[in-house]
Amino acid sequence: MIRLAATLGFAFLYAPILSLVVYSFNESRLVTVWGGFSTRWYGALLADEQILDAALISLQVAVASATIATVIGTLASLALARHGRFRGRFLLGGMVTAPLVMPEVVVGLSLLLLFVAMEQAVGWPAGRGFVTIVIAHATFGAAFAAVVIQARIGALDRATEEAAADLGAGPVRVFLDVTLPGLAPALVSAWLLAFTLSLDDVVIASFVTGPGASTLPMVIFSKVRLGVSPEVNALATLVIAVVSLATGLAAWQTMRTRR
C-alpha cells in the first residue's frame, strides 16, 4: 500500500514533466498531437535571439549572484558558528534566515521599494536591470548558502585550527590553509544551490528587472502566456536538464560534507 501511494505520488509530480520532455521531440507544431520524432524545435530554439540573449543574462546573473551569496553566507556562518554571543547576533541570525521563510513576492516587493528609495536618495542603482537582479538573487541565495556552510562549520574539528595557531600561523593563514579547505565541499554545494535558485527564479526577478534585462524564466513565462509552443517545450527541457544537473551536484556535495 505504501509503495502504491509512493508510486502514485511520484507519477502525479513527474508525469507532466516527462510528457513535456517527450513532446519537445514532437514533429508537429501542435503540442498535444504527436507527429513523430524530431529535433527540429531544438534547432529553432538555437536560432531564437531573444531566448539566447535571455539565457546569457540568466547565466551571468546566476554566476555573479551565486558567488556573492557564497561569500556572504560564509562570513555570516563563521560569525554565527565561531564567535559565540555578540551584539547583534540575534539580528544577524534573523536576517540570514528571513529569506528562507518569506514568500518570494514579499522579498521581491521589498527589494523593489529599497532600490527605488536608494535611487531617489543617492542616485544608485540607476534604474532596474542586471545589477539589481544580481543583488536580489544574492540576497536570498545567501540565506540558503549560510545554512549549508554553517552545518559544515559545526562539523569541523577546531583542534587542527588551534594546532596551526600554536605553531605560529596567524588568523588569516589558519583560515586559508586549514578552515577553507575543510569548508570546500560545503562551499561548492552552497554555490551550486545558489546558482540553481537564481537560474530558476522568476518572481523576484520580475520585480527588480527592467527593459533589456529579462532572464530566461521570465521569457518562458511570457511565451507560455501566449500559448505553449514546441520551442517552449524544448527550452523547458534544456532548463530541466541544467537545473537537475546542478541540483544533483549540490546534493552530492552535501552528502559528502555529512560523512
| 5-37 per-position pLDDT tens digit | 888 888 888 888 888 888 888 888 777 778 788
Q: Coil, strand or helix: which one is 25?
A: coil
Confidence of residue 51 (pLDDT cuts 50, 70, 90): confident
User: What is the rounded CA–CA span in Å between residue 245 and residue 228?
Assistant: 25
Which is more confidently placed, 247 or 39?
Answer: 39
Which is more confidently placed, 220 or 257?
Answer: 220
Contact call for residues 137 and 198 (beta carbons, < 8 A):
yes
Say if residue 223's pLDDT is above 90: no
Q: Kindly state the percentage of the chain with pLDDT values over 70.
A: 97
Say if residue 254's pLDDT is above 70: no
pLDDT at 133: 94
Hey, what domains does the chain have and what are their CATH numbers? 18-47+228-259 (no CATH), 52-218 (1.10.3720.10)
Hey, how many other C-beta atoms are within 10 angstroms of the C-beta on 254? 19
With 0.75 as the threshold, say if the pTM is over it. Answer: yes
User: What is the rounded CA–CA span in Å between residue 72 and residue 110?
Assistant: 20
Mean per-residue pLDDT, 75-92:
79
Count how many residues are written for the chain. 259
Sheet strands (E) in 84-167? none
pLDDT tens, residue by residue, 89-122: 778 777 888 888 888 899 999 999 999 999 988 9
Say if residue 67's pLDDT is above 90: yes
Hey, how many other C-beta atoms are within 10 angstroms of the C-beta on 52? 13
Scored b (16 or more CB within 10 A) or e, 122-155 reads: eeebeebbbbbbbbbbbbbbbbbbbbbbbbbbee
Mean per-residue pLDDT, 224-231:
75
Mean per-residue pLDDT, 126-132:
87
pLDDT at 163: 81
Burial of residue 66 (CB within 10 Å: 0-12, 13-18, 19+) is buried
Which is more confidently placed, 196 or 247?
Answer: 196
> What are the grid coordinates assigned to 24, written together?
519537445
Mean per-residue pLDDT, 148-172:
79
Confidence of residue 66 (pLDDT cuts 50, 70, 90): very high
